């Protein structure tokens, strides 16, 4: 399970770094799949860490807003 989480996180980070609407959508899918494999608090910390590293990528964060995550 840990390996699956690690790989999904790596894939999401890679897609975010590529930049682009299509990549952001795929990255968001990965991040929400990870949510199902983690407890809520750990997932929130993971997303906060992503925000710290990618706060300027408004189009990426719009994907979260569309899902009701602010």
Q: Which two tokens stand for residue 61?
A: 């964060």
Per-residue model confidence (pLDDT) at position 70: 82
Separation of first and last alpha carbons in the chain: 28
Per-residue model confidence (pLDDT) at position 67: 92
Q: Taking the model in full, what pTM does it have?
A: 0.87
Q: Would you give per-residue pLDDT tens digits along the chain (70 residues)?
A: 889 999 999 999 999 999 999 999 999 999 999 998 999 999 999 999 999 999 999 999 999 999 998 8
Task: Provide long-range contacts, Cβ within 8 A and 24+ apart, for 2-8.
Answer: 4/37, 5/34, 5/37, 5/38, 8/33, 8/34, 8/37
CB 30 within 8 A of CB 12: yes
- Of 29, 35, 28, 25, nearest to 5 (Cα)? 35
């Amino acid at each position: 399970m840990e390996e699956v989480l690690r790989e999904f996180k790596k894939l999401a980070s890679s897609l975010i770094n590529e930049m682009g609407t299509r990549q952001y959508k795929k990255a968001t899918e990965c991040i929400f799949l990870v949510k199902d494999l983690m407890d809520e608090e750990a997932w929130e910390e993971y997303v906060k860490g992503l925000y710290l590293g990618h706060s300027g990528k408004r189009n990426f964060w719009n994907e979260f807003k569309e899902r009701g995550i602010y």
